[in-house]
Each structure stands twice: as structure tokens, then as C-alpha cells.
Structure 1
Amino acid sequence: MGRFDFQEMLSAFIVLFAVIDIIGAIPIVLDLKQKGRSVNPMKATLIAFALLLAFFFAGDMILRLFQVDIASFAVAGAFILFMMALEMILDVEIFKNLGPIKEATLVPLVFPLLAGAGSFTTLLSLRAEYSTLNILIGLTLNMVWVFIVLKMTDRVERLLGKGGIYIIRKFFGIILLAIAARLFTANITSLIEQFQAVK
């Protein structure tokens, strides 16, 4: 599990906060409610948390099954984070949800907004740098925050306003872009060293 490190925990929290981006998802949640599609905050939070935990612990086993190491996955994860950052900064849609399920709590709220490809990739990518304990604490705090925001969606929108939500989304998009660059450079070096060792 590793030793508790406040700096690591805070870094993991911020990365996951930017990727999950529940504040940026508020307009989507409000739109779902206006269309009469009910959203259950507790159910959504618990299912998303369970999915993220399952992938965090079983994802490593899946990688070993396909003979992929954490560093390689982290580099791939950096590309995913990079594209998600572009979505947030440039207001473009790269990841589209074209699934057949219409129930709002599960789709699109739990998947792909809360527990999607970006979140899964980020969790395993973080394992390349941080201890399990600090990542789990950061994830748990994010899930608490997700529940609070979903429970108070209308109030949060009134408090921040559309402009405030827009600015926060842009700000975390830039942070996510920087994190993607750091994740890529940190792990590509390890892969190059492994390649040179094999040669």
C-alpha cells in the first residue's frame, strides 16, 4: 500500500479531479434532468467508485495478461489525458457516447463521465508514480466531492454561474495538459532505457 504522503495524495487528488471533472459535467447533468432522465447521486457515486476500485486493482492483472507494463500503459494514458485536455480547452468532442443504454444514472453519468476510459487510464498511470494508499485516498476524496456536487447540482450552478463553470473547465484543461506532458516524459524515458537494455 505504501506510506502516506500528503504531497502525493494531493497530486493524485488533483489529477483525478481534473479527469473526472464533475464541475464540468454539471451542464450535462442539468440537461439530463430537464429531459426527464432521473439521476440518483448516491447510486451514481457508489457504482462509479466500485468500478474505479475494481479496475485499479484488477487492471494490473489485465495488463500482465496482455504482457503490458505500467510504464507503457502510462504513456498510452498520457495520450488519453492529452486528448481529454484538448476537449476541455478547445471545446471539441473527441470521446463520443453512442451506446444504446438510455438510463441516465448509469449512462452517461457513471460511464463514461465518472468512470470512463480517462479515469481508468489515469488510475493505472498514477500507479507508475504514486503509492497505492495515496491514490486511494485521492480517489475516495474525489468520490465524496462527486456526491456533494451531484446532490447540489442546481445550487452549484447558481453559485458558479455558466461563466464560472466554463472558466474552471478551461483551467483544469490546462492543468491536465501539463500532467499529460509530465506523465509522458517521465515514463517514455523508462521505456527507452528498457529498449536500450534489451539491445
Structure 2
Amino acid sequence: MFAGFNWQQLISAFIVLFAVIDIIGSIPIIINLKEKGKSVNALKATLISFALLIGFFYAGDMMLKLFHVDIESFAIAGAFVIFLMSLEMILDVEIFKNQGPIKEATLVPLVFPLLAGAGAFTTLLSLRAEYAEINILIALLLNMIWVYFVVSMTGRVERFFGKGGIYIIRKFFGIILLAISVRLFTANITQLIEALQQK
């Protein structure tokens, strides 16, 4: 088949990316954005996210070094954004007001930081150190197909669960997002402090 192709690596990479991207957990956010009158384009979100992730997969280290930003600092910044989004969901407040001329939510917050965020970027760089390139790329492609399917079906999901069900799911995944932001922050702040101490 392909050079370096390995089913075990492919499945492992798919599961890791599936957990990090967590499009199921983003369903309440997408529905909430639509209720606010902000359009979400499933195909556009998927293609842009895929392009960003592929670009970062190949040029991530170089891009961060260009701006003198280490991966730990980048991940901590992403953790803060995810933290604020989780507060929106848990406390029913609006932090990302999106008052610019473009009333579309496809790019922010759907593409970044939900789909192609610091967590996904750092995960891709970590996987690249462990697995063959072809396995990670196929795993990422399969995840993007799943993302497109879920984003385009959010309306049906809302009808299935109803307003009350979506409200409960929103609160639950708000706490999950909060936990992810805390884990992302704590995992990288210790590495950042250690790196600064060594300088």
C-alpha cells in the first residue's frame, strides 16, 4: 500500500484527533451561534480547518519560531480562549460578541479555536514525532469527513434532543470544555516554566 502505512497507527491517530477536535462537544456551540443569527457553513468550516491543520502539520514549528513563540505558550493561549468559551456555555453569558462587519461564525469561533485550535495543532506536532506521516494525514482526513457530517446535521440533532435536551448538553459540554482548557493549561505551563528555568 503506502510507504509507512500502518493500521494500528492510523486507528490510534484517529482516536487521539477525534478526542481533541471533539466536534460532538461543539454541537451546542454551533446551535447557539445559529440561534444568534450567525451563519455556519459546514463545507467551508471543514475545508478551512483541514487546510490550517495540514499547513500547521508541515510548517508549525517554523511558523512559531518565526514569531519567537514556543509551542507551550501557543497552547496556553488556546487554553484561555477555550476557557472563555466554556464560561459562555456554563454561565449563559456572551463574551465573543462578533461585532465586526462579517456576521458569520464559520471562522471564529468554529474553525478557530474549536476545530483548528491550539489543542489540535499541538497534538499534530506530537503525533508527527511518533507516527508515520501517511497515517496521521489519513486519520486527519477521516476526522474532517466526520466534522462535515456533524456540522451539517446540527439542525436534526437539535430537533432530536429538543430545547431542554440541548440546554442540558450545553451545560455538560461547557464543563467538559472547561476541563480541557484547564488540562491544556496545566500540562503546558509546567513545561514552559521548566524551559524558562533552564535558560
What's the TM-score, normalizing by structure 1?
Answer: 0.73
Aligned partners of 2:119 and 2:62: how far apart in 1?
Answer: 16
Specify whether residues 29 and 138 from structure 1 end up closer, same or farther in structure 2 by C-alpha distance, changes over 3 A only: farther
Aligned partners of 2:176 and 2:139: how far apart in 1?
Answer: 17
- Residues 17 and 143, structure 2, Cα contact 8 Å, conserved in 1: no
Residue in 2 aligned with 1:123? 120
Question: Which one of the candidate residues 18, 23, 33 is aligned to 1:28?
Answer: 33
Residue in 2 aligned with 1:180? 181
| 1:53-104 per-position Cα deviation (integer Å, ceiling 9, x unaligned) | 33454443321101111112112222222112111111112222122135xx
Q: How many residues align?
A: 188
Runs of 4+ in 1 over 6 A off after TM superposition: none
1:157 aligns to 2:166 (yes or no): no
- Residues 20 and 120, structure 2, Cα contact 8 Å, conserved in 1: no
Aligned positions of 1:1-199 closer than 5 A: 4=9, 9-17=14-22, 21-29=26-34, 32=37, 41-102=42-103, 107-109=104-106, 111-118=107-114, 119-127=116-124, 130-132=126-128, 140-198=141-199
Which one is further off, 58-67 or 45-54? Answer: 45-54
> How far 1:5 sits from its partner (Å)?
7.3
DSSP 3-state at the match of 1:67 = coil
> How far 1:11 sits from its partner (Å)?
4.4
Aligned partners of 1:85 and 1:67: how far apart in 2?
Answer: 29
Aligned partners of 1:98 and 1:197: how far apart in 2?
Answer: 43
Q: Which residue identity is paired with 1:122?
A: G
Aligned partners of 1:19 and 1:158: how far apart in 2?
Answer: 15
> How far 1:23 sits from its partner (Å)?
3.9
Specify whether residues 21 and 153 from structure 1 end up closer, same or farther in structure 2 by C-alpha distance, changes over 3 A only: closer
Specify whether residues 150 and 93 from structure 1 end up closer, same or farther in structure 2 by C-alpha distance, changes over 3 A only: same
Aligned partners of 2:176 and 2:75: how far apart in 1?
Answer: 17
- Residues 41 and 147, structure 1, Cα contact 8 Å, conserved in 2: yes
Q: Which residue identity is paired with 1:61?
A: M
Aligned partners of 2:24 and 2:34: how far apart in 1?
Answer: 17
| 1:103-144 per-position Cα deviation (integer Å, ceiling 9, x unaligned) | xxxx223x113212454333224346x414687667545533
- Residues 14 and 140, structure 2, Cα contact 8 Å, conserved in 1: no
Which one is further off, 78-87 or 18-27? Answer: 18-27
Unpaired runs of 5+ in structure 2? none
Specify whether residues 169 and 54 from structure 1 end up closer, same or farther in structure 2 by C-alpha distance, changes over 3 A only: farther
Unpaired runs of 5+ in structure 1? none
Specify whether residues 113 and 190 from structure 1 end up closer, same or farther in structure 2 by C-alpha distance, changes over 3 A only: closer
Specify whether residues 9 and 173 from structure 1 end up closer, same or farther in structure 2 by C-alpha distance, changes over 3 A only: farther
